[in-house]
Structure 1
Amino acid sequence: MRLTWILFAIITADAAPVHNGERAACTSPIQRKAWHTLTREEKKSYIDAEKCLMSLPAKLGLAGPRTRFDEFQKIHVLHAPLIHGVGAFLPYHRYYVQAHETALRTECSYAGAQPYWDEPRDAGNFSKSILLDPETGFGGDGVGPNNCIADGPFKDYMNSVGPGESITDHCIDRQINDCWSEGAAQKNVDACMKITTFESAWNCLEGMPHRSGHRGINGQMMDVFSSPGDPLFYMHHAYLDKLWWQWQSKNLSSRLNEVTGPNQGTFFIPGGVNGRLPIGSPNGTIPGGPNGTFPPFGPFPPGNGSDCNPVPGGFPGFPRLPPPQNGPWIKIDGDPANITTLGHVINVEGMIPNVTIKDVMDIQGDVLCYEYV
């Protein structure tokens, strides 16, 4: 653990401390860029670093993973029911992507920053995205009875974690759906940016922009537990983090301290097979309601995917974790009852040191030090 702290300190060394209660500032933020803007050499460097993580042996002692890459997937599996449909959704995934970036830089000699997928560029046409190029990207669609990706740098990688919470060997699978990817359109992002409160903005961002990225790729990316088994996960969630930072920056002094919501959401929906549930709810909504449950996603402009054919397999749910109405709650360190606060502890199983939500509200503060360009 001491070595982990030292490496994390090195990677965030340009972050300055808070003085007199003022916002901390990092002096030399690394630049997270859109994949579309990277040079061929920059793309290769990132892909090589990801393949490096896939070659390094696991070391956290978690059940299932063989490699460091698998360990990231397992961490997401372990925490999935408490990091979706909850107030910690955006902060947790911000720090989770940071942990991945840190591993690339400290363990795999990667000199760049985590790139992101500028998804509105490809909305409605994910199948033609340059991210799926077999030579300079992540490979294309799945083929055959198991929908395994058949080209690109990750075609032969075998996940040892998933589907869901299971531990099995399986390929990285995709079933790209251009219709569902229409929800990544800029108009849906713009709808979220107009919202003025964190709870509604988080609800909006976790809705159409988030779900469309997962639905558009489908396959493993549609598994709420084990979706990080597809390397596209980190491109997608870096993009979502960019959107949250864009929203925060509209009123930074206030929004650096604004977080709320339940710690246990309503991704429990009865029915389905192996935790995978049918999607077909109208207007892109998921049932929700009062008493600490997660409200419906939206509203969104037309073109939200509600007229698309159902995604095969449906949407993974959490059949073992119904949202309690009045408790007892699963205790989250740093939080009272079922309320997400700035003191909420983000646990990444020792991949990098645990922090609080307050620590990651600012991407150019005393813990994080990056910017989006």
Structure 2
Amino acid sequence: MKFSLSIIGLLPLVSLINATTIDPEVVAARKNDVYLKQYQDNIMKTLRARKPTAKCTERTLIRRKEWSRLSKSEKLAYVAATKCLAAKPNQLSRALVPGVRNRYDDFTAVHLANTPYVHFNGNFLAFHRHYVHLYEQALRNECGYKGTQPYWDWSISYQDVRTHPIFDGSAASLGGNGAYEPDRENVVVELAPGIFQSHPPATGGGCVTKGPFTPSTWSVNLGPIGYNVSWDPIGPDGGFGYNPRCLRRDFSPIYSKDSRPSNVTALLEVDSLAALSFKFDAEPGAVHGAGHFQVGGIELCTYASPSDPIFWAHHAMIDRIWTVWQHLGNTSVIATKQNSVWGTGTNGNNPPSAPVTLDSTINFDVLDQPRAIRELVSTIDGPFCYMYE
């Protein structure tokens, strides 16, 4: 099924698009804002038509904000909740995953175990939507967090990842870069079975030195699996064993260029879920990979990437793009988009697996019961009741 976007709401941009003096990325950013407003209007229209007794209404809706729009106290509360989760005991048995040491590790371990079934396939978007939601709920229900999961809009800082406030290295941030380490080898990552990508060293490489997640306050305990380098060899027990080490980062302005506003626009304007998924992941310079790659360190490991707290804000941004795309169009188009599926249930369909359907289930292990994809396709239905600002 293919969809077309209405140009209503985009007419004010015509003069900008035709103006040679305007940066095309500025034009794209403004177009993205128009699409965001259309999405928000359609969400509110749906909610206002519901009965007051519905599970998700305008009154019960929560709103996720971009990191830079949070107040200092909101940022500090999010950081505190993240560290609170890492101070709570694990619920996942060490007989299953020997390396887990805390509740935060439970989340990383679930990603480790499910990576072959939730990347480069038809489960990717639905799994990560619910996975981030479960993390958000753990922060709220287990650590008393009153806010919502913030997202990291990397299109704001596409020219240089180091300029985004989320990485300013203050106590009210998610930390800064890793210490610079010269003479490091490339990191060769297996993205999918038999598909490898080489990442050159960038501006850091060592342990994070500023902010709330320095070696004295944060430990990465699981992985890696997806790469094997001298400074971070594959962990014991195939990456599932206890492997305590610092959080490393290696900010790359080269990869941040791939998260430019025009790449977001291109995603929002595709005409099918298959095309959206391809642009997210498979084409060169895809934004999903770019978000991980521009941070570097453990973010280069597909399996253990949740070990870095930036993971959640990055995947909230991925989810934001998906839900905005889902809500562009008339009522019929929106319904069709939300009920669209594509692909199979294994990474790159290797090994070959059955096509994904709305009734296909995704496992969340200790975090939640298995969920059918049809439960996860709308952020205002099923277990969800949130939207993005």
- Give the shorter-chain TM-score range: 0.7 to 0.9
Distance 2:277 2:308 in 1: 24
* CA shift digits 1:133-164 (9 cap, x unpaired): 22220111111656111111011211211112
Distance 1:176 1:88 in 2: 29
Describe the shift of the 1:353–1:231 C-alpha distance in structure 2 as closer, same or farther (beyond 3 A): same
SS at match of 2:365: coil
Query: Which of 205, 209, 217 is the matching residue for 1:150?
Result: 209
Distance 1:25 1:109 in 2: 22
Distance 2:370 2:63 in 1: 23
Distance 1:129 1:193 in 2: 23
Query: Which of 54, 64, 74 is the matching residue for 2:109?
Result: 74
Query: Which of 63, 74, 93 is the matching residue for 1:31?
Result: 63
Query: Which of 263, 275, 279 is the matching residue for 1:204?
Result: 279
Contact 1:124-1:183 at 8 Å conserved across structures? no
Say which structure is richer in helix: 2
Contact 1:262-1:339 at 8 Å conserved across structures? yes
Distance 2:157 2:321 in 1: 16
Distance 1:25 1:159 in 2: 36
**Alignment match, 1:263:** 345
Structure 1: unaligned runs, 5 residues or longer: 1-15, 267-292, 294-322, 330-337
SS at match of 2:387: strand
The answer to whether the aligner puts 1:138 opposite 2:174 as a matched pair is yes
Contact 2:91-2:366 at 8 Å conserved across structures? no
The structure having more radius of gyration, on CA atoms, is 2
SS at match of 2:63: strand
The answer to whether the aligner puts 1:246 opposite 2:337 as a matched pair is no
Point out 4+ residue stretches in structure 1 off by more than 6 angstroms: none
The answer to whether the aligner puts 1:339 opposite 2:355 as a matched pair is yes
Distance 2:294 2:210 in 1: 18
Describe the shift of the 1:178–1:32 C-alpha distance in structure 2 as closer, same or farther (beyond 3 A): same
SS at match of 2:155: helix
Contact 1:124-1:180 at 8 Å conserved across structures? no
TM-score (norm 2): 0.71
Structure 2: unaligned runs, 5 residues or longer: 1-46, 182-204, 226-237
Describe the shift of the 1:79–1:51 C-alpha distance in structure 2 as closer, same or farther (beyond 3 A): same
**Alignment match, 2:86:** 54
* CA shift digits 1:4-42 (9 cap, x unpaired): xxxxxxxxxxxx9xx9xxx97444111100001000000
Sequence identity (%): 30
| Match runs of 1:1-373 below 5 Å | 25-27=56-58, 28-61=60-93, 62-63=96-97, 64-135=99-170, 136-143=172-179, 147-156=206-215, 157-164=218-225, 165-166=238-239, 167=241, 168-207=243-282, 208-250=286-328, 251-266=333-348, 293=349, 323-324=350-351, 327=352, 329=353, 338-373=354-389
Say what the alpha-carbon RMSD is for the aligned residues: 1.9
* Paired residue type of 1:96: Y
* Paired residue type of 2:177: D
Distance 1:265 1:354 in 2: 19
* CA shift digits 1:45-71 (9 cap, x unpaired): 100000101111101214111011111
Describe the shift of the 1:109–1:24 C-alpha distance in structure 2 as closer, same or farther (beyond 3 A): closer
Distance 1:353 1:29 in 2: 23
